[in-house]
Chain A
């Protein structure tokens, strides 16, 4: 898939270092292998509409950005709930599949499941290709 991962919170770069050394490296060998941005005051979070100024935190937002720099997917989840990485990867695969084939991916699509042409996706005849079992 070849996507780059970028993480951002309002913590300082030194706090990121400390988190990496004390906790992340306990979870994954060598810790996080991607840049962890420092966003004091939520300047970047505000650009993306996820800065919560009342609590001084960036909300749990996730953006998939294509090679031209265009946003293709957005998700924001309330603080108590961790995100679903598998779903983000599924969307990434579907977006990449669309960019290489032009296909449309119906509800619940994963590699190996049926795709639709652009015409089919609006034809009123999706039922011929897509069954409810494909949603799960």
Chain B
């Protein structure tokens, strides 16, 4: 599957640190809402 505009965003589930707790979060939980998904090289750097 190639990632491009107009194609479905690849689904994933992973551990996330979210407001003080670590939990499993899936992208699909956000269906029905706009999402800004951003990757960045490393913590303690700029985003």
Interface of A with B (CB < 8 Å)?
1-11, 13-20, 22-23, 33-39, 43-45, 47-50, 57-74, 79, 82-83, 88, 92, 95-96
Contact = CB atoms under 8 A, between A and B. Distances in A.
A110 B35 CA distance: 20
Contact of B43 (A4, A9, A66): A9
B35 A64 contact: yes
Contacts of A10: 42
Contact of B33 (A2, A14, A33, A88): A2
Contact of A92 (B3, B12, B30, B34): B34
Given A16-B17, A16-B43, A48 B10 contact: yes
B38 A36 contact: no
User: Interface majority SS on A: helix, strand, loop or mixed?
Assistant: mixed
Interface string B4-31: 1111111010111111001001011011
15 contacts: A3-B33, A4-B35, A5-B35, A6-B16, A13-B15, A14-B22, A20-B17, A35-B18, A37-B12, A37-B14, A38-B15, A48-B3, A48-B37, A67-B32, A92-B34
B6 to A, nearest CB: 7
A79 B40 CA distance: 8
Interface residues of B, number: 37
Nearest to A64: B36
Contacts of A16: 16-17, 43
A126 B6 CA distance: 25
Contacts of A74: 3-5
Given A3-B34, A4-B34, A82-B47, A9 B39 contact: yes
A35 B8 contact: no
Nearest to B31: A69
